[in-house]
């Protein structure tokens, strides 16, 4: 398959459903990994 560049970039704030994604902890840092399709909106200022 082909890799497609995500619409969301690092540092952007997003709105997502309550149960979307998977929480993980790497070296004491918390992360939430989710599919791009689970993102409801990108918050812009």
Q: What is the CATH number of domain 1-45?
A: 2.30.33.40
Q: Exposed/middle/buried for 34, CB within 10 Å: 0-12, 13-18, 19+?
A: middle
Task: With 0.85 as the threshold, say if the pTM is over it.
Answer: no
DSSP strand pairing (22-26 vs 29-33): antiparallel
* pLDDT tens readout for residues 1-45: 899 898 999 899 999 999 999 999 999 999 999 999 999 999 987
23 forms bridges with which residues in the sheet?
A: 32
- 9: tokens are 């970039």
| pLDDT the model gives residue 45 | 79
> Which pLDDT value is given to residue 33?
95
Where are the extended beta strands (E) located within 1-45? 13-16, 22-26, 29-33, 39-43
The whole-number pLDDT of residue 23 equals 97
Instruction: Specify the pLDDT at position 20.
Output: 96
SS3 content of the chain, % helix, strand, coil (to 5): 5, 40, 50
């Amino acid at each position: 398959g082909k890799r497609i560049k995500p619409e969301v970039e690092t540092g952007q704030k997003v709105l997502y459903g309550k149960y979307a994604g998977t929480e993980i902890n790497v070296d004491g840092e918390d992360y939430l990994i989710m599919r791009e399709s689970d993102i409801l909106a990108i918050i812009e200022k």
